[in-house]
Amino acid sequence: MKEIIVASTNEGKIKEIKAMLEEIGIEVKSLKDVFDQDIDIEENGKTFQENALIKAQTICDMIHKPVLADDSGLEVNALDGAPGIYSARFMGHDTSYDIKNQYIIDAVKGKDRGARFVCAMALCRPDQQPILIEEYFDGEIYDKIEGENGFGYDPIFYVPELHKTSAQLTLEEKNQYSHRAKALKKLYTILKGEGD
């Protein structure tokens, strides 16, 4: 397998996946590289894994090629695990992350600041069982928006052992510690074991 279609148009996500998989000779393409128009897939699963599988299987069935989908989000202890699977849609699709991030900072004041990023990945290939993986990146909610790298909730996700927010990490650092990096490493190990 020399090519994987990533069932996403999120440029930040594609960049992170490309940085890891292209190192091992797998060409990564996004939905924009494959389709002329936007493909709207209803993510109606109740877990990150269910949503990842829905995305990967839908596109795989359409193009009959290996498709990787990732469903990820932020779980905040003080918000009972919210925004969770609704991370992208939290407070509405059109609400900027500056507003979402500030809301979360305000919501955890004086409370448990613990949080984690979750990444579920599904790799679907024609006529094969899907591969499902779930990994985590533990940290806490920072008291301000900090950092220029990354996307989404990265500027408020503080990583205590690195003394930085996720948005202050270099791409190399992120690809060493993040939930997505851990999931991709696990996927790579599985594929290598298959001799693929």
Q: Known binding site: residues?
A: 8-13, 42, 71-72, 151-154, 174, 179-180
Place of tokens 């490309």: 18
Report yes or no: 71 and 63 within 8 Å, Cβ to Cβ.
no
**Does an H or E element contain 141, and which?**
strand 131-141
- Binding-site members for substrate are 8-13, 72, 151-154, 174, 179-180
Q: Which of 61, 70, 71, 196 is catalytic?
A: 71
Binding residues for Mg(2+): 42, 71
Two structure tokens written together for 140: 């806490």
Judge contact between 66 and 190, C-beta under 8 A: no
Pairing mode, strands 3-6 and 27-30: parallel
Examine the residue annotation and report whether 33 is marked as an active-site residue of this protein. Answer: no
Q: Looking at the annotation, which residues are catalytic? A: 71
